[in-house]
Amino acid sequence: MHNSECDIGTKNHSKEFPHLYLPYVHSMLLKEITTFITSADLPEGIVADKITVNPPSMHIVGLRIPIFDINTNNLFHSIYMEHNFVNDFSGKGLSSSILKTLPKFGLDAQYGREHLAGIAVDGQYIKLGVENHIKDELNFKKCSSILGHDALH
């Protein structure tokens, strides 16, 4: 629009506008996602995978939730939660990083014990025993495995 010499103003179309506006969008989305997750009372699964962008290493953390009444074609939906930098690549470090993401969405340890039905990760997370560390940190009483290998990532 600017290149075609249309007057688009200086406030809402300036380079500064996204920096001022996006924190409000983020805040509202966080509230909406938190309300959706905590009011659904459904079993949930954690999805995590390591990503490396040049030197810094991070991992993506998400939730997989069944949504039966909204969409019968795609029963499971994944909700991206965040990608964060990882400094400790041990099983305990990765599990701690995953569990630090959950409270940002209003999901405490009690909620995790009641709703966590599974963890979908790849081989490195399995090899490092991330599942057992998460179970220990959440004080899981169950003995059954909640781990699933996610080959589709």
Q: What are the boundaries of each domain within the chain?
A: 19-141+145-149
CB 146 within 8 A of CB 117: yes
Answer yes or no: is pLDDT of 8 > 80.
no
12 pLDDT band, cuts 50/70/90, is low
Fold of 19-141+145-149: Nucleotidyltransferase; domain 5 (3.30.420)
How much is the average pLDDT of 86-104? 89
Tell me how crowded residue 129 is: count the other CB atoms within 10 A of its CB. Answer: 17
As a whole number of angstroms, the distance between CA 117 and CA 138 comes to 13
Percent of the chain with pLDDT over 90: 5
Digit-coded pLDDT (tens) for 51-63: 776 767 788 888 8
The model's pTM is: 0.72
Q: What is the pLDDT of residue 29?
A: 86
What is the structure's pLDDT at 1? 47
* pLDDT above 60 for 151: no
Two tokens, residue 45: 């699964």
